[in-house]
Structure 1
Amino acid sequence: MYVYESTDATAYTLLKGPAYVPPAGLIRDPSLIRHADGHYWIVYTTNWTGNTIGFARSKDRKNWRFVADHTLPVTGLARTWAPEWFVDEDGGTHVIVSLDTTNTSTFRPHLLSATDGTLRRWTIPEPVAGLDRSNYIDTFVVRHGGKYHAVTKQETTKYLEHAVADHLEGPYVFAGTGDWAGWGSWREGPALAPLEGGGWRIYFDGYTDKTYYYSDSYDGLRTWTPPRQLPGLTGFVRHFTVLREQI
């Protein structure tokens, strides 16, 4: 895992790399938060197959310590990919993870929640209502305008789609499908970060053309600017997340 930082959400410079290598398995799809304990935490994909997600934490984003691999108690679980943090307004800490329980590379988002502040004990993963009807992966959720907004990759069509719900667990109703935002197909790994003035920036991986893109919205995630290439990182990085912090 490599760690970058930016003062303008566009030009990123390397802070440290490699910054973390797990004791076993892989480190893919890292998702980042700063927890109430003062540490930065990542949750990540641990392998191509299996039933675990990995956790590590750091005080400075440079030096990381492995915490644990957490086994998900889900029957028939073949692949456990792309876990993403979501911290709600009440401080509740959750992970949305893509699970393949059919061994056919068909994924459905599941939600698990931390049962205490140690982030070591979790609820049993449950399918996210409205996103469990088809083959969705890389689901990233933000809270905006009193609603929960999920941007998720339709794994069959390779488009990033947008769904909205009143509750984190759903049911989600799709507000944008296909090429609704003009980002094109063969996109994955969406990550959203708030901008000054109430806008949002989405980053996503154009993995077939080896280009990383970003796009902005200032009308509540309804319309987006044409995608632009993210300078400096194209061709190297894959499926990252961005944490905005006030200095």
Structure 2
Amino acid sequence: MIKKYYYQLICCLGLGLFMNSCQKDVYMFSSFHEPADEGLRYLYSYDGYNWNEIDGIYLAPTLGSQKIMRDPSIIRDKKGTYHLVWTIAWKGEKGIGYASSADLITWENQRIIPVMEHEPTTVNVWAPEWFYDEATGEYMIIWASTIPGRYPKGVEEENNNHRMYYTSTRDFKTFTPTQLFADPGFSIIDAVILRKQKDEYVLVLKDNTRPNRNLKVAFSDNAKGPFLNITAPFSAYLTEGPSVLKVKDEWLIYFDSYGSKKYEAVSTKDFKSFESINNKIHIPEGHKHGTIFHATTKDLNKVLKASKLKN
């Protein structure tokens, strides 16, 4: 009887460990390939350094006049649903693409969120990024747009003088009116918010002015800013598309070094000093920047299985 009890206990513990391992999160990287007319791709990683590409396209671009998908950003909500936003056009559109999925395979509720419809002279709506604000329970989307003549510029053309804007939602159906998110006094794109610790937020951004076109960081005590104390660049000329994740006690910042035609990464603990980790990472050729997000092992395995069936 005692042996039977211990056998049952061990089986239950083993099943519990198995279930926990199945639900353990893995890193996934939303991706696309140039010329951005094929659609959503994925990479995945178990350690945050070595990335594998998953074959296949998981959502073809059908929204907007140009029907492209650039800069796909994905976030998983508290109920386990994934939400995707992306750039639908280089110019001429005043919204971003949106879709949701329960499994990263079937995407539903596709529509354009008309975030800049109230600004008739808007040139573009680029690189939307999700951020969940734990302090307010809101899901924010930030993006870059140019409104000619609105802000001072340096050597930029009026049609290339970007500022960051944002909207937020709690239900992914209704969104707050668009507001200015960041005006650092220069053209800014490709910004990503992260929460370093309680009441300490970091904005990783691209200084898109012609002499710079590199990556910097700024700091705030609120997810909505203002973000101040902008640092010197931590990346070289012609770099963009930062994606950030935390591995143990270090933050890894991946970015597209389009000038040298390769993907790079740095690590930091304080966002003041940065160390190149290019010799520690592996990124598949052709990957273009999206967002690094958490997915369950179960969902990843579903995607891998679907990829095998497609191919």
1:109-140: CA deviation from partner (whole Å, max 9, x where unpaired): 111111x31x12111221124x3421000000
Answer yes or no: is the 8 Å Cα contact 1:138–1:152 preserved in 2. Answer: yes
1:82 to 127, 130, 133: 127
Number of paired residues? Answer: 238
* Alignment of 1:244 onto 2:294: yes
Q: Equivalent residue for 1:199?
A: 250
1:159 aligned residue (206, 214, 219): 214
Aligned partners of 1:10 and 1:30: how far apart in 2?
20
- Counterpart-to-counterpart distance in 2, 1:233 and 1:240: 14
Aligned-residue identity in percent: 25
Matched residue of 1:74: which SS?
Answer: coil
**Per-residue deviation, 1:14:** 2.4
Aligned residues of 2:257 and 2:264 also touching (Cα < 8 A)? yes
**Higher RCO, Cα 8 Å, sep 6+:** 2
Matches within 5 A, 1:29-108: 29-49=71-91, 50-72=93-115, 73-75=117-119, 76-90=121-135, 91-102=137-148, 104-108=159-163
Structure 2 segments unaligned to the other structure (5+ residues): 1-39, 149-157, 298-311
CA RMSD of aligned residues (A): 1.8
Question: Contact 1:96/1:109 (CA < 8 Å) preserved in 2?
Answer: yes
Match of 1:121 in 2: 174
Aligned to 1:123, what secondary structure does the other structure show?
Answer: coil
Cα distance in 2 for residues equivalent to 1:10 and 1:237 = 15
SS at match of 1:168: coil
Q: Answer yes or no: is the 8 Å Cα contact 2:76–2:294 preserved in 1.
A: no
Say whether 1:169 aligns with 2:251: no
Deviations 1:17-68 (A, max 9, x none): 2111122321110111101342111111011111010111222223323521
1:17 aligns with 2:56: yes
After the TM superposition, which residues 123-162 of structure 1 pair with which residues of structure 2 at under 5 Å, given as runs? 123-129=176-182, 131-145=183-197, 146-156=199-209, 157-162=212-217
2:264 aligned to which of 192, 213, 226: 213
Structure ID, larger Rg: 2
1:231 and 2:277 aligned:
no
Preserved contact between residue 23 and residue 66 of structure 1 (Cα < 8 Å): no
Letter aligned with residue 19 of structure 1? Y
User: What are structure 1's unaligned runs of at least 5 residues?
Assistant: none
Correspondence for 2:21: none
Q: Which amino acid aligns with 1:243?
A: F
Q: TM-score, length-normalised on structure 2?
A: 0.72
Report if aligned partners of 1:161, 1:174 keep a CA contact under 8 Å in 2. Answer: no
Higher helix share: 2
In the alignment, the residues of structure 2 paired with residue 143 and residue 44 of structure 1 have an alpha-carbon distance, to the nearest angstrom, of 22
| Kept after mapping to 1: 8 A contact 2:263/2:283 | no
C-alpha change, 1:47 and 1:54, in structure 2 (3 Å) is same
Runs of 4+ in 1 over 6 A off after TM superposition: none
Name the stretch that deviates more: 161-170 or 9-18: 9-18
On the 8 A contact 2:131/2:194 being kept in 1, the answer is: yes
- The aligned counterpart of 2:43 is 4
Q: TM-score, normalised by structure 1?
A: 0.89
1:20 alignment partner, SS class: coil
- Counterpart of 1:62, as a letter, is I
**Whole-Å Cα distance in 2 between the matches of residues 174 and 110 of structure 1?**
19
Matching residue within 220, 229, 236 for 1:184: 236
CA distance in 1 between counterparts of 2:202 and 2:86 reads 21
